[in-house]
Amino acid sequence: MDDIYLITILSNIGMISFIALSAYLLLVVGEISFGQQAFFAVSAYGSGIATAMWGWPIWLGLLWGALVAGAAALVVAIPTVRLRGLYFSVATLAFAEMVRLIFEIFTYQVEIDGELVGPDGSDGFRDIRAIYDSNVSAFEYMLIIYGLLAVVLIGFLILERSRLGAIFRMIGEDPMLTEMQGLNVTKYKILAVVMAGIVAGIGGALYAHLATYVEPKIFNVMLGVHALAYGLIGGLGTAFGPLIGVAIDIGLLESIRAISGYRMIVFGGLVAVLLIVRPRGLLDEAAMHWLRGRWRGLIRAEN
């Protein structure tokens, strides 16, 4: 196993972790979205357009991509968050497919140095070369990915200890009872969808610049289904849950060559077994409560 192979796998784990966290946030508020790949896609295109066509610096392109994804999420959230359960899932799926089909016909190209650059419908969007043009190595880019992932993860951990995080969990448990506490559930759900859109967007922007080429079919429903499954495998008790899910899928299943051909079968089986044995994942709320108790006990013993 050479270094580049390892760096590629780690980079993939990092990028997919964003969309896994995105789907996880919505699972926490009790909504199953099959459409987080749409925000990943919107940001991949948006940030690519910003850097490759408008000549923006990478950091601004990433920020732009995430913001466009957040704006798209707001547009989706307003009509859909009042939907419950299956209806919300179907609406997000429909939206994501709509986005993918729009990118299949979306053409917007400009001539740069005698070459046409920009999205060209189903032929995709080539030459998003910003990181290569600025001589960022694969290793350095991996550090950028993990730096941003660390920032987002710390944000999630702070959120989970905050009042907003508790409100999200309340909504996930019982939206009606939450509303009875004087909380505007619709408003908080819109906030959650927008936050999830931004998080998925960061991943999409990072992806577009590492791959240098994006095409609509990458952002199909399987990406969204995986994103959901990561939280369900790893656990809904902590933001580390979806990361464990990603690590299991990409780190183990995709990387162990012996099972590479059967990855989807093994992965599907794993999801099915876990949903029966541990419906809220490995690190579910009860497990996290137990772990926190042990941790407090350890600290007390130290002192």
Partner 1 sequence: MLEIRDLHLSYGKVRAVQGVSLEVAEGEIVALIGANGAGKSSTMHAVCGIERPSGGHIRFLGQAITRMPPHRIMRRGIVQVPEGRLIFGGLTVAQNLRLGAHNVAGRAKTEADIERVLESFPMLRDRLDEPGAALSGGQAQMLALARGLMARPKLLILDEPSLGLAPIAALDVFALIPRLRDAGVTILLVEQNVRQALAIADRGYVLESGRIILDGNAAELAEHELLVSAYLGLTRGE
Among 109, 137, 181, 260, binds partner 1 (CB under 8 A): 181
Handedness of CA 64, 126, 17, 74 (dihedral sign): positive
Separation CA 199–CA 202 (nearest Å): 5
- CA dist 256 and 97 (Å) reads 31
CB contact at 8 A, 116 and 109:
yes
CA 97 to chain CA centroid, nearest Å: 17
User: Which residues does 266 contact at the CB level (< 8 Å), separation at least 6?
Assistant: 253, 259
The residue count for the chain: 303
Single residue of 52, 131, 145, 185 touching partner 1 by CB under 8 A: 185
Would you give the DSSP letter of residue 49?
Answer: I
Query: Least distance in Å: CB of 283 to partner 1?
Result: 13
183 vs 270, beta carbon nearer partner 1? 183
Least Cβ distance, residue 293 to partner 1 (angstroms): 9
The interface region with partner 1, picked from 68-76, 171-179, 191-199, 214-222 by CB under 8 A, is 171-179
Q: Binding of partner 1 at residue 176 (CB under 8 A)?
A: yes
Give Cα separations from 95 to 75, 88, 116, 179 (angstroms). Answer: 10, 10, 29, 27
What is the x/- site pattern for partner 1, positions 277-296, by CB under 8 A?
A: --------xx--x-------
What minimum distance in Å lies between the beta carbon of 285 and partner 1? 5
Select from 27, 10, 7, 19 the least CA-distant residue to 43: 19
Per CB under 8 A, the segment of 85-93, 127-135, 181-189, 197-205 that binds partner 1 is 181-189
Among 170, 192, 198, 199, binds partner 1 (CB under 8 A): 170
Considering only residues 214 to 243 of the shown chain, the ones binding partner 1 according to CB under 8 A are: none
Using CA atoms, how far residue 53 sits from 118, 215, 240, 257, in Å, is: 7, 16, 36, 38
Determine if 160 is a binding residue for partner 1 (CB under 8 A): no
Work out the end-to-end distance of the chain between its first and last CA atoms, rounded to an integer number of angstroms: 45
Task: Kindly indicate which of the ranges 12-20, 74-82, 159-167, 220-228 contains the residues binding partner 1, using the contact rule CB under 8 A.
Answer: 159-167
Q: Which position among 52, 68, 152, 167 is part of the footprint of partner 1 (CB under 8 A)?
A: 167
Rounded Cα gap, residues 51 and 136, in angstroms: 14
Single out the segment in contact with partner 1 by CB under 8 A; choices: 66-74, 84-92, 124-132, 182-190: 182-190
Asked if 173 is part of the footprint of partner 1 (rule: CB under 8 A), the reply reads: yes
Q: Amino acid identity of 261?
A: G
Q: Which residues bind partner 1 (CB under 8 A)?
A: 163, 166-167, 169-170, 172-174, 176-177, 179-185, 285-286, 289
